[in-house]
Amino acid sequence: MKIIQCSTAILSISFLLMACQPQASNALAQKQHFVCKSLIEGFLKTQQLGQYQLQHMQPTLHQTSAQRLYQYHVSSDHEMRTLMPQQQDLNFQCSQSSAQHFELKLLNHKQQEIQTLLSLELLPQKTMDNLTAFVLKTQ
């Protein structure tokens, strides 16, 4: 009887642990996130707003989405060093309308404004292949 209870307990724990395993990220979503995050961080650096850090992203990288929302928050280190009042959060919307086209917008919820910041048109993969100076040989 104890062996059956022990086996049931071990089996239950195994199922719980399997349920807690993180889902594999979607490769397309990861590529999209890489482009969007690069656009946002490039914008922040050019505007000398490097004190902001990614706090939240929606949806997660487990699913593909034509639009992602990013929330950046001013780092706590910077808050302590300066007494200047500033916007604590910056909200961005990154949209992908085709395989090559991305658009970055700044969302201002208080004033209900959306401002387009950047638009990026990536070259098609075939063009990139032609521009590549060398090709790695695969076996």
Kindly list the domain boundaries of the chain, sorted by start residue.
Answer: 27-122
pLDDT of residue 68: 96
Q: What is the dihedral of CA 19, 21, 27, 30, to 10 degrees?
A: 110
- Segments in the chain forming alpha helices (H): 2-19, 27-46, 76-81, 125-131
pLDDT of residue 129: 80
Q: What is the dihedral of CA 35, 40, 42, 44, to 10 degrees?
A: -170
pLDDT of residue 11: 46
Pairing verdict, β 52-58 and 67-74:
antiparallel
Tokens representing 47?
């505007």
pLDDT of residue 102: 97
Determine the 3-state secondary structure of 17 from DSSP: helix
Residuewise pLDDT in 10s, the chain (139 residues):
556 564 555 545 554 444 555 556 688 899 999 999 999 999 999 999 999 999 999 999 998 899 999 999 998 765 555 555 478 899 999 999 998 999 999 999 888 899 999 999 998 888 888 887 766 676 5
Contact 36, 68 (CB under 8 A): yes
